[in-house]
Amino acid sequence: MCLTRSSKTSFSRSVRAYIGLLVLVSLLLSGCTPPATQTPAAQASATPHSSASAQAVTATTAASVAPAATLKSAAEYLSETPCDHPYLPLRPGTKWGLNTAEVVMTLEVNQVVEGAEMTAATSTRSYDFGERYEQSWTCTSDGIRYDDIIYADPNSRVALPIAVIEHTGLYLPSADKLVVGYSWDEHSVTVNRGYTITMDLHYTVESTDPVTAIQQTVSGVQVRVSGEMRAVDKDGKETVRSVNFLRVFGLGIGVVLDDALRLQRMQVTY
């Protein structure tokens, strides 16, 4: 595929957004169900969890994340909902800031709606270069998967759904499965701004060593992410990129390292 310098920069940023967090977490340029179907948040039938009454603390000092630091294992973590994963605490009002030398990304959880069979979390992911995504996650006892993404164009201010053609697998399985050697797969085909993007990712837990983030040392999970991303433009020109990086989670914190993105700040609600 031949790209101009500006289109290479745009595509490079889209790729990093796709394979970084997200969380991410997962910085995934994928994931929206067709408009004709309801989102999981609309289907969930319980009262939304709100951050209005929660006390927010900035996790830049030891006291900020004391509840997480006192835990010896994920089994001791008290989850509020299925989306409040011990290694990815999607709680309303919680906010992460991750960056590289070139990119600054912020992810904030807006709302969590608990239903009878599944729970849905919505979040906003924004970048210093102007792009913003509204994302929802589906959470069950099996783990967490992304379900819906809408790209908000900073120039036209138009919300553009990212259409999902296929999606299978999880972003993060339940905590009890995160032991050394455990593997799982995630496959997706999406359409975004003229590109059809196919992601085939393989995840393996490499270690469960402690991690240090925002002045705290907590239990950790190191996941090797490998696979391939294939992008085809509207003219049929193709670009293929191999994926191989480490994604590191901290207990009660979330993602602390994702490819080149590293956690720099956190605001968490307890």
Instruction: Give 198's contacts (C-beta < 8 A, 6+ positions apart).
Output: 188, 189, 228, 229, 230, 231, 232
Q: What is the structure's pLDDT at 72?
A: 80
Q: pTM for the complete prediction?
A: 0.75
Give every residue of the chain whose pLDDT is below 50, as ranges: 1-47, 50-68
Task: Give the CA-trace dihedral at 74, 225, 267, 86, to 10 degrees.
Answer: -10
Q: What is the structure's pLDDT at 48?
A: 52
Q: What is the structure's pLDDT at 154?
A: 65
Distance CA 205, CA 208 (A): 8
212 token code pair: 């240090």
DSSP structure class, residue 53: T
Distance CA 154, CA 184 (A): 35
Q: What is the structure's pLDDT at 33?
A: 26
Total domains in the chain come to: 1
- Would you say 269 and 93 are in contact if contact means Cβ atoms under 8 Å apart? yes
Distance CA 53, CA 67 (A): 18
CA distances from residue 16 to 31, 65, 83, 111, 241 in whole angstroms, order as listed: 16, 28, 24, 25, 11
Of the candidates 138, 123, 77, 106, the residue with the CA atom closest to the CA atom of residue 267: 106
Distance CA 142, CA 119 (A): 12
DSSP structure class, residue 214: T
CA 135 to chain centre: 9
Structural domain harbouring 168? 5-269
